[in-house]
Amino acid sequence: MVFELKCSKCRRKFDLKVNKWRCDCGSPLNLEISEYPKVENFSELIKDGQNIWRYSALLPFKEGVTLGEGLTPVLNKKIAEKEVFFKLEYFSPTGSFKDRGAALGVTRAKEIGVRTIVEDSSGNAGLSYSAYAASANIKARIYVPFDAPIGKRALMRACNAEVVECKTREEASLRAISELKNDEIYVGHTWDPFFLEGMKTEAFEIFEEKIQVDSVIVPTSSGSHLLGIYRGFEDLVKMGFLDEYPEFYAVQAGGITPIYDRIYGEWRGEKGDLADGLRILQPPRLDQILDTIKRTNGDVVVVDNEEIISGMKELYQMGLIVEPTSATAYAALKKIRDVKNPLVPLTGTGIKTVDKIEKIINIPL
Ligand SMILES: Cc1ncc(COP(=O)(O)O)c(C=O)c1O
Ligand SMILES: [Zn+2]
């Protein structure tokens, strides 16, 4: 397995151990694989172990930091005549899919020998990084919007992270970068290609469990999750284990719709600000997200608060305790007509956001 760290635009190549979060031309970096292992069966690539490092043959590090991330359950349900595969990412160590990426990010910091990681986040990625940094005895400084759910901010501090509260999500991104010191590493998931490599293990798990999915419906903010799952399918296609890609559907919440706006023009519907995890106005990898949707014949779907609330209520009535942001994928599923065998990752637990849920479920619908 040969990995190359390359600029997504000017194609400049960097050493895998460089402490850089983007190319000198300003574009995001990608990890590309120039040589795949040659095996007959996917199982030959898998190691024993109850975490994502069982796929290390396809990851940029042979082993790494772990809190037992990955191997999340899949729940198959028939909903509106569709065979739906809910992937319960909220079973992750800190309650969201971000743990897969944070395991890679903190491992990279250790490999480079940096003792402080810096991240900006609406909450979940910040908590993942705080927990993984704590486990590796590394410092974490996390920039968040001041109104990020208290459950997430409190747990970051409990893990000993320095939490910097900002006026907005954008201010959090800008300050994380402008206040970065030379002996620190910026692992911001909106930019970091190593984070995406962690996400791809979700696709490997689906394939290993022989689940046939024809579409993937993902709440999308920075696109790290959508692009990471796609990266996993890309590995499987390039190694010859799959012939084609599932269709990728990005779900956005009304009010913050950069993907929709680029495809269809400015969104003019109702707000969806209950999805507090979907707040990035200008995702650095927007072009890559658009490209993935187009290439896989997918689409973008926008949901509003009313749809999020009914999605939450229906999920809770099925016993699926998610946070408001995760309910957007379910709400979108119900709006997409011809989707087949969809994979719907339920991205984050409701347990960190009970204060918000308590208010929301008291709103009659
Ligand atoms: C619960 C939840 N779902 C989805 C997302 C969106 O993920 P991404 O930024 O990878 O697009 C986030 C991001 O914070 C989140 O917290
Ligand atoms: Zn470049």
Domains in the chain, please, with CATH?
2-55 (no CATH), 74-95+194-360 (3.40.50.1100), 98-193 (3.40.50.1100)
How, if at all, do strands 247-253 and 299-303 pair? parallel
Q: Are 206 and 213 in contact (CB under 8 A)?
A: yes
Q: pLDDT tens-digit profile of 57-113?
A: 999 999 999 999 999 999 999 998 899 999 999 999 999 999 999 999 999 999 999
**Residues near ligand 2 ion, CB 5 Å cutoff:** 7, 9-10, 12, 23, 25, 27
User: Quick check: 365 pLDDT over 60?
Assistant: no
Average pLDDT over residues 214-227: 98
Q: pLDDT tens-digit profile of 26-65?
A: 999 999 999 999 999 999 999 999 999 999 999 999 999 9
In this structure, which residue's CA is closest to atom 1 in ligand 1?
Answer: 348
Structure tokens at 89: 């990412």
Q: What is the pTM of this model?
A: 0.97
Q: pLDDT tens-digit profile of 290-345?
A: 999 999 999 999 999 999 999 999 999 999 999 999 999 999 999 998 899 999 99
What is the atom index within ligand 1 of the atom nearest the CA of 219?
Answer: 4
DSSP tag of 197: H
What is the atom index within ligand 1 of the atom nearest the CA of 323?
Answer: 1
Q: Cβ < 6 Å from ligand 1: which residues?
A: 96, 122, 124-125, 219-225, 277-278, 323, 325-326, 347-348
User: Quick check: 363 pLDDT over 70?
Assistant: no
Distance between CA atoms of residues 173 and 190, nearest Å: 9
Say if residue 40 is exposed, middle or buried (CB neighbours under 10 Å; 0-12, 13-18, 19+).
exposed
Q: Which ligand is nearest to the CA of 324?
A: 1
Which of the listed residues 86, 96, 349 should we mutate to test ligand 1's pocket, taking the one with most ligand atoms within 8 A of CB? 96
**Tally of CA atoms within 13 A in the half-sphere of 91 that contains its CB:** 14
What is the atom index within ligand 1 of the atom nearest the CA of 222?
Answer: 9
State residue 364's pLDDT score: 64
What are the two backbone dihedrals, phi and then psi, of residue 348, each rounded to the nearest 5 degrees? -145, 150
Distance 185 CA to ligand 2 centre (A): 19
What average pLDDT is seen over the chain? Answer: 97
Distance between CA atoms of residues 48 and 355, nearest Å: 39
State residue 10's pLDDT score: 98
Which of the listed residues 326, 347, 349 should we mutate to test ligand 1's pocket, taking the one with most ligand atoms within 8 A of CB? 347
Distance between CA atoms of residues 140 and 159, nearest Å: 9
- 218 or 34, greater pLDDT: 218
What are the two backbone dihedrals, phi and then psi, of residue 150, each rounded to the nearest 5 degrees? -60, -35
- What is the percent of the chain with per-residue pLDDT over 90, rounded to a whole number? 96
Average pLDDT over residues 268-283: 96
